[in-house]
Structure 1
Amino acid sequence: MSASPLRLPDVGSIEAVLADLDPASADEDLVPALARAFPGFEFSLALIDDNYWRDTRSVIRPDGTRLGELRPWMTAELAKDGGDIDALWRRLKQTDLQVTEWRGTSAFVFAPTGPAAADYIQIALGRESEWQAGPIINPDYRPFGEDELFDPGWIRRDDFRETDHLAGPVYRLLNRAGGAFVHVRSFLGRCSRIERERREAKRPEMERRVIREIGPDGTRETPFLEAVPDWFDYVPREIRFFQDWEESSASAHRVFAHWALDIRDYTHRGEREIGFIPRPLRPPKDRLLATPDLSVHLLMHRIEAVDREVGLPFGWFFLMTHGHWVDPDVGQAIAVELRAQRVRLPDRDRAVLLRWADQPYGF
């Protein structure tokens, strides 16, 4: 008898696991709790230091008594003063009321489902805690309007004192435009299918389109599909990222050991938006740029240093596709020297880089 297939997690089941976590031990218990809920998966957790805050705020007294959520509470207080913001400000600045705020950082949980680069699941979470953020009103400046009452700009966000910590950490499933939970291989399949359908729907338009060139002999018209015969064979950058990973030296490593994916999958005004932005889990400290005074041999030395720093062979290439840490000009400069046989890369990495140089993509 064959083994029973693993039950993939689902949003409802994941949320139930998160709800049962005790904030006092949530960091240690998250992965074991998921493993108990979904037997057969090897989960791992990656935290990213990208501070954010939610617009969910509360009003409390110094003794911790909660008076309610900020917006409805403030709306009611403003009504007591007949909508007079100045009167409300003068009254509230005499109190010792405080406003709280939920602040968080991103967390990603991964689990492999097979041996290929895209064979894994990703769960996007927020690790969030509630903090006493500041006084209910800015005692020094009168608010200009209601928006400032509901979205206080004077609260502290760079001074985290443990005495201000009120609750958490709790883990919350982030509905990042439809990308809170994904099976990556299935997601890439949707990317390919939607792009193919989008282009196929434009076939009549593309077949009518022509490119007009005006020259000394008059106007020349070339059918668009004759000039761009592979227009219907376009491969989305998300697919190419994983294809390049599997065909390069990076394939000895799992993608999720080095990258998280900010995934989106939603419909806006009737148009399907789907894709991801890769986020490195261990970015290099410094950016690498291709400057005129930097020889290609020194550039090769620098990319090797980047690979060592991030712990990934050919890691500089994938940082380059992101564009922030390694400038795309670096890849183009090395490709020129590869073709001139003045520098060398492993054969598989050479093929990937030259393919990218002919048809660049980036995130």
Structure 2
Amino acid sequence: MNASPLRLPDAGSIEAVLADLDPASADNDLVPALAHAFPGFQFSVARIDDDYWRDTRSVIRPDGTRIGELRPWMTAELAKDGGAIDALWRRLKETDLQITEWRGTSAFVFAPTGPGAADYVQIALGREIEWRAGPIVNPNYRPFGQEELLDPSWPRTDRPPQSDRLAGPVYRLLGRAGGAVIHVRSFLDRCGRIEREKREAKRPEMEGRVIREVGPWGTRETPFLEVVPDWFDYVPRELRFFRDWEDSSARPHRVFEHWALDVRDYTHKGEREVGFVPRPLQPLAERLAPPKDASIHILMDRIEDVDREIGLPFGWFFLMIHGHWVDPDVGLAIAQGLKAQRVRLPDPDARVLLRWADRTYRF
């Protein structure tokens, strides 16, 4: 008798788990609570320092007593003064009222569903803490307009002391466009399908398109699809990322041990946009660019240092296609060295790099 398939985590059930977490122990309880709600999965969590601020603020007294949310409360107070911003500011700066702010960082939860590079679930969360931000208005400067009262930007931006911590941490699903909870392999299938549908919809246009050249011979027109015969076979970079992982020395490692995926899936002006940008869980201490007048062999030493630093064979390649940490000229230089037989890489990595150099992609 076959075992029943595991129930994949869904947004509603995850939100119920998060709502039951006690902020005092949320960090420790998150993974066990998810494992209890979804038996059979082995969850892990990774946090990223990418501070963000929620637009939700509260009005409190110095002892922490809550009066209400800032925007509706301030709107009502402004109405009491007939919309006179100056009068409201003068009145409020003499009070001891304060405002709070919610600061958050991203947290990603992962759970494998199979042996393949893309066989896992990713859950994008925000880990948020409420802090005392400062007095209700800036006592030294009159606000320029109503929005500065409703959404003040002047409170301090440095990290507040623990004594100003009011609530949290609390976890919540981030409002990422269609990507808070994904099964990665299914998401990749979606990426490929959407791209094929987009291109197929343009078939009549592309079959009629020509490239016009003007020269001493006159005007010559060449059908676009003769110049780019594989236009309909385009593979999105998201699929190439995972294919390159599985074809390289990185394959024994799980993608989610090193990368989180910043996913998007939305419709803009009637067109579906779907994809992701990979985010390294362990960025490099310094960006790697090809040093001037350095030999290819020194560059090979540098990429080995990168792989050791992040604990991933061929890791430098994936940091390179991320688009920030390793300059693409590094990959192109090494590809040239491979073609000239001046340097060597493991055969799988050499094939992946040369394939990339032939048709580059970056995020």
Both structures adopt the same fold (TM-score exceeding 0.5)? yes
- Find the residue that maps to 1:213 and give its secondary structure: strand
Q: What residue number does 2:231 align with?
A: 231
In 1: Cα distance, 2:293 partner to 2:131 partner? 49
Does 2:269 correspond to 1:269?
Answer: yes
Unpaired runs of at least 5, structure 2: none
In 2: Cα distance, 1:44 partner to 1:120 partner? 11
- Find the residue that maps to 1:99 and give its secondary structure: strand
Q: What residue number does 1:280 align with?
A: 280
Q: What residue number does 1:42 align with?
A: 42
- Superposition map of 1:1-363 within 5 A: 1-363=1-363
Q: Deviations over 1:82-109 (max 9, x none)?
A: 1111111111111111100111100000
In 2: Cα distance, 1:61 partner to 1:96 partner? 7
In 1: Cα distance, 2:326 partner to 2:293 partner? 17
In 1: Cα distance, 2:294 partner to 2:136 partner? 54
Per the TM alignment, residue 154 of structure 1 is displaced from its structure 2 partner at its CA by 1.6
Q: Deviations over 1:289-323 (max 9, x none)?
A: 12332221111111100000000000000000011
- Find the residue that maps to 1:118 and give its secondary structure: coil
Per the TM alignment, residue 126 of structure 1 is displaced from its structure 2 partner at its CA by 0.3
In 1: Cα distance, 2:268 partner to 2:358 partner? 32
Letter aligned with residue 157 of structure 1:
T
Alpha carbons 1:106, 1:126 under 8 Å: kept = yes
Aligned length: 363
In 2: Cα distance, 1:296 partner to 1:94 partner? 67
- Find the residue that maps to 2:305 and give its secondary structure: helix
- Find the residue that maps to 2:140 and give its secondary structure: coil
Letter aligned with residue 250 of structure 1:
A
In 1: Cα distance, 2:88 partner to 2:193 partner? 56
Q: Deviations over 1:178-236 (max 9, x none)?
A: 10000000000000000000000000000000001112111111000010000000000
Unpaired runs of at least 5, structure 1: none
Alpha carbons 1:122, 1:183 under 8 Å: kept = yes
- Find the residue that maps to 1:360 and give its secondary structure: coil
Per the TM alignment, residue 254 of structure 1 is displaced from its structure 2 partner at its CA by 0.2
Per the TM alignment, residue 175 of structure 1 is displaced from its structure 2 partner at its CA by 2.1
Per the TM alignment, residue 71 of structure 1 is displaced from its structure 2 partner at its CA by 0.6
- Find the residue that maps to 1:251 and give its secondary structure: coil
In 2: Cα distance, 1:24 partner to 1:338 partner? 55
Per the TM alignment, residue 149 of structure 1 is displaced from its structure 2 partner at its CA by 0.7
Q: Identity across aligned pairs (percent)?
A: 79
- Find the residue that maps to 1:239 and give its secondary structure: helix
Per the TM alignment, residue 159 of structure 1 is displaced from its structure 2 partner at its CA by 2.7
In 2: Cα distance, 1:113 partner to 1:188 partner? 15
- Find the residue that maps to 1:349 and give its secondary structure: helix
Per the TM alignment, residue 135 of structure 1 is displaced from its structure 2 partner at its CA by 1.0
CA RMSD of aligned residues (A): 0.7
Q: Deviations over 1:262-308 (max 9, x none)?
A: 00011112110100000000111000012332221111111100000
Alpha carbons 1:49, 1:105 under 8 Å: kept = yes
In 1: Cα distance, 2:67 partner to 2:179 partner? 35
Any runs of at least 4 consecutive aligned residues in structure 1 with deviations exceeding 4 A, and if so which?
none
Q: Deviations over 1:118-170 (max 9, x none)?
A: 00000000000110011110111111101111121221221321110000001
In 1: Cα distance, 2:44 partner to 2:66 partner? 36
Letter aligned with residue 161 of structure 2:
R
- Find the residue that maps to 1:273 and give its secondary structure: strand
- Find the residue that maps to 1:189 and give its secondary structure: helix
In 1: Cα distance, 2:150 partner to 2:300 partner? 53
TM-aligned CA distance change 1:291 to 1:213, over 3 Å: farther
- Find the residue that maps to 1:55 and give its secondary structure: coil
In 1: Cα distance, 2:159 partner to 2:181 partner? 32
Q: Deviations over 1:37-58 (max 9, x none)?
A: 1000000000111111100000
Alpha carbons 1:133, 1:157 under 8 Å: kept = no
In 2: Cα distance, 1:295 partner to 1:93 partner? 64
- Find the residue that maps to 1:46 and give its secondary structure: strand
In 1: Cα distance, 2:188 partner to 2:245 partner? 14
In 1: Cα distance, 2:290 partner to 2:218 partner? 42
Alpha carbons 1:134, 1:154 under 8 Å: kept = no
In 1: Cα distance, 2:107 partner to 2:216 partner? 61
